[in-house]
Chain A
Amino acid sequence: MKNSQHNNHVRSKNRNTVEEESLINQKLPKELLLRIFSFLDVVALCRCAQVSKCWNLLALDGSNWKKIDLFDFQTDIEGAVVENIARRAGGFLKKLSLRGCQSVGDSALKTFSQQCHNIEDLNLEMCKRITDITCICLSRNGRKLQKLDLESCSNITDESLKALGEGCPNLVHINISWCDIITERGISCLSRGCSKLQTFIAKSRDSFIDNECISHLANNCPLLEVVNVRGAMALTDDAILRLAQSCPNIHYLCITGCCNLTDSTLLALAQYCHKLSTLEATNCSQFTDNGFQALAKNCHYLEKMDLEDCVLITDNTLTYLASGCPRLEQLTLSHCELITDDGIRQLGMAPCAAEHLTILELDNCPLITDASLEHLVACHNLQRIELYDCQLITRAGIRRLRNHLPNIRVHAYFAPMTPPPPVGGSRQRYCRCCVIL
């Protein structure tokens, strides 16, 4: 009895020493192990941390935790987890995504901002519990912050933007979509403090963004490249003119839902923003061929255009785009009911067609017929074409297009020929004994 106890004791002692000097730890210096760990993801690191004391130290070393994305664990993340990570990672942490982690609140982010003062990229999308306190702490401690995503954080007010403007002069990217209690005053403070801003995203349904806001941005942030003001229904042409004049670098502009804009907007863009590559203008129903003529003449880098519900445009717009925009990749013409086969023919013969055009959306264009599809056979790069509700399109037409472009995805309301797979998973039909027999 005594003997065995003694043995146990010895063995456990042995085990400890064996762990310390197990082969991998002997052969590899700690620096190298650390280097290996730095390639692992969160789950693997946490597993390694459970191997031994030595590995625990190495795996939880801050240098492995420079970039963390907790999106996959969104429901499990509590404030305490974030605080722990912040303490472990400290100054190493540069990029953290808490997207969708709804139970994280101000206190956790307060600790976080105190511990991780080198943070550069912080994503707080859908962290609905955070308030201005978070942003105030961030502005106090995070001078290096460059990217901040506050999408759907509905408690954020002007105070936050004011604090950010004062404390984060390096901010390059800000997303305040669906933060509907912000006003023009907040934007003014933010734009004054963060003059390096390149990306400004403020999507909403009927947003607070008005001409004042845009002129603040235009006056203070000349480096803007990406602007998304989707749903800013109050905007008028003047605002876009100001923006275009002072921010010549804009290459992405989303003015979806700004239904007061007219051709003057397009003229302004054509005159000043020659680098424009993406234009999303769904529902801008006052745009006409004239505006697009100017745009196509001057903005040769256009790649993506979303013109859904621009109901006034006709085949002429397609002609201009075909001749002026050789890089066009994506073109959305949904609900543009005046488009006919002739316009598509122009597009099919354009320089962009052969190599660049990948996505073409023509759903609800009632005048399009099979002839349009014939004109598109030369678009070798075409990957997807939307034809929902184009009632003149037939199955035969689609089949002919498929013969030329075998990899294309055609979206139309035709029933697939193959029967659907059975529903309900694969349940065993026979009992086990029948299988054995």
Chain B
Amino acid sequence: MGDARDPDEFFDLAEKIIQNINTVFEKDGSLDEFDIVPVESQSNRSPVIHVNHKLALESWCVPFLYSHSFKCFTQLLPNRKVSAGNHKNQHRNGSTSVRNGSIGSHEGHTFVNSRLTEGDRTERKLNLSRILILLNPDLTLAWNYRREAFIQCCMQFQHELHLVSLVASRKPKSSEVFMYRKWLVKHILNEDLKGDNIEQIFTREMQAAGKAAEAYFSNYHAWDYRRWLLETFLGGSFCPDEFKLTILNSEKNCSDNWVERHISDHSGFHYRQKLLSQMSLLECNVNGVFQLFTKELENNLSLVMRFPGHEALWYHRRFLLQFLVPKLQMELTENLNNHHQPMETNWECEVWQCCEDKIQYLKKKEEDLVKSILTVNASLVDDASVNFITKDSSNLSILYSQKHAKWLFMMFEWIIDNN
């Protein structure tokens, strides 16, 4: 393959590499990682590396392999115009030499496809689409083919999930990966609804989403998938109630852990917010919700104080307040409307007083927070002995707290002195 020749010079090579990859998939059912390693082609060695359940391709073969697979794949699809140029002509007179189950190669691209029986075609399309999505997870065409094949029961649910995880191990941030995963899970939930299975599916999917989130900072798609899972399983009738509770608890623990370590990952916080609103649904009165959210506010406060200059924390705080305060206010107005006459019982009075107190308490807290941030950071900014990184974050902190004060005024008309 050394010299430049006809455009098909890499044809045999690409077929060989495809064959090698297929062999690896056949041999090893528990591959857990795929990647492309940057290597120049120097020695006469297979670019498919398979070590310890990890699969890798040497980078030099990727452009050739991809364009070859794409060409062959699109030619196999019915009614496609893409690169179907001389397909029809060769369709009739193409000769095959299928030997030992592998596909020989003499004439060019098209012949490989032309004399295959329908079953072989399906298998080849699946193999090609697997390579395509491994190399380029954004190719919806290949994903859609797999969807079609899945509906026609050409492959197993477990195998597909496994492949998706493999793709995600290289590109954790690809949206297609999670769309396909979502599609698969939806499909399987419609079909089999056994208790054990449900728990198994849930934990495995959560793990997969967690892994992807871990692999890429602020991985919106992974967290969104996780949110979808949470809402589907909590909202679905197929899920027993006690399992829903365990879901919530385990997810809360998981999220606590995550938030501690990733203070500026807004996607993670967004998931937490969804989780909190789900949990608040389980609380029977405002008091419970108040307790849940004040605890969260306190956690948030300590994070804000410990890690200055992270906007995600402030946005999370906004969400908490925006969720909690209107709830309290609503309670307040309801009580007022119900009792045009002066309060009679002590207890009702207490409730009313309580809500009012709570709002005042929250307001006071916010005031304290903004003030303390401003004073602490103002002194830091003026201090000449502090390095510029700290100064930067202090400046940011001041900015965010001022913004926060402004937002509080816009939202609740709480006036906080921010000078």
What residues of chain A have their CB less than 8 Å away from a CB belonging to chain B?
71-72, 74-75, 99-100, 102, 125-126, 256, 282, 387-395, 398-399, 402, 409-425
Contacts and interface: CB of A to CB of B under 8 A. Distances in A.
A389 B3 contact: no
Given A395-B2, A402-B3, A419-B63, A414 B41 contact: yes
A205 B7 CA distance: 37
Given A126-B117, A411-B16, 15 more contacts: A72-B91, A74-B118, A100-B119, A389-B44, A389-B45, A393-B44, A399-B2, A399-B3, A410-B1, A415-B41, A416-B10, A418-B4, A418-B5, A420-B63, A425-B81
Contacts of B52: none
B83 A425 contact: yes
Given A74-B118, A126-B117, A413 B10 contact: no
B328 interface: no
Given A418-B7, A418-B9, A419-B63, A413 B118 contact: no
A413 B46 contact: yes
Contact of A409 (B12, B16, B46, B60): B12
B47 interface: yes
B9 A423 contact: no
24 contacts: A99-B117, A100-B119, A389-B45, A390-B44, A391-B43, A392-B44, A394-B44, A398-B1, A410-B1, A411-B12, A412-B1, A413-B13, A413-B16, A413-B41, A414-B41, A415-B10, A415-B64, A416-B4, A417-B3, A417-B4, A418-B5, A422-B67, A423-B71, A425-B74
Contacts of A99: 117
B66 interface: yes
A413 B2 contact: no
A76 to B, nearest CB: 11
B70 interface: yes
A102 B118 contact: yes
B222 interface: no
Interface in B53-101: 60-61, 63-64, 66-68, 70-71, 74, 81-83, 91-92, 100
Give chain B's interface secondary structure class. loop
Contacts of A411: 1, 12-13, 16
A379 B88 CA distance: 36
B115 interface: yes
A363 to B, nearest CB: 9
Given A389-B44, A415-B41, A125 B4 contact: no
Interface string B1-40: 1111101011011001000000000000000000000000
Contact of B44 (A391, A418, A419): A391
Given A75-B118, A391-B43, A411-B13, A420 B1 contact: no
A413 B4 contact: no
Give chain A's interface secondary structure class. loop
A420 B10 contact: yes
A415 B44 contact: no
Contact of B118 (A100, A282, A419): A100
Contacts of A282: 100
Contact of A71 (B13, B43, B115): B115
A419 B62 CA distance: 11
Contact of B16 (A75, A256, A388, A418): A388
B219 to A, nearest CB: 27
Nearest to A395: B2
A391 B45 contact: yes
Contacts of B9: 416, 418
Central interface residue in B44, B83, B100, by most chain A CB within 10 Å: B44
A70 to B, nearest CB: 12
Contacts of B66: 420, 423
Nearest to A43: B92
B67 A414 contact: no
B117 A414 contact: no
A152 to B, nearest CB: 8
Given A413-B13, A419-B63, A388 B3 contact: no
A415 B7 contact: no
Nearest to B7: A421
Interface string B127-152: 00000000000000000000000000
Given A72-B91, A390-B44, A411-B12, A416 B1 contact: yes
Nearest to B64: A420
B67 A421 contact: yes
A424 B63 contact: no
A1 to B, nearest CB: 47
B39 to A, nearest CB: 10
Interface string B356-398: 0000000000000000000000000000000000000000000
A398 B5 CA distance: 14
Nearest to B83: A425
A424 to B, nearest CB: 7
A424 B74 CA distance: 9
Interface in B234-258: none
Q: Which 7 residue pairs are nearest across A and B when measured between Cβ atoms?
A: A100-B117, A415-B41, A420-B67, A425-B82, A416-B10, A414-B1, A395-B2
A19 B297 CA distance: 92
Contact of A389 (B4, B46, B74, B91): B46
A388 B82 contact: no
A70 B115 CA distance: 12
Nearest to B17: A413
A40 to B, nearest CB: 13
A253 to B, nearest CB: 16
A387 B44 contact: yes
Contacts of A399: 2-3
Contacts of A125: 117
Nearest to B119: A126
Interface string B322-343: 0000000000000000000000
Nearest to A100: B117
A72 B115 CA distance: 8
B170 to A, nearest CB: 19
Nearest to A420: B67
A425 B70 CA distance: 10
Contacts of B67: 420-423
Contacts of A409: 12
A68 to B, nearest CB: 15
B12 to A, nearest CB: 5
Contacts of A72: 91-92
A416 B13 CA distance: 9
A423 B70 contact: yes
Contacts of A126: 117-119
Nearest to A394: B44
Contacts of B92: 72
Contacts of B47: 413
Nearest to A414: B1
Contacts of B71: 423
A297 B254 CA distance: 75
A415 B117 contact: no
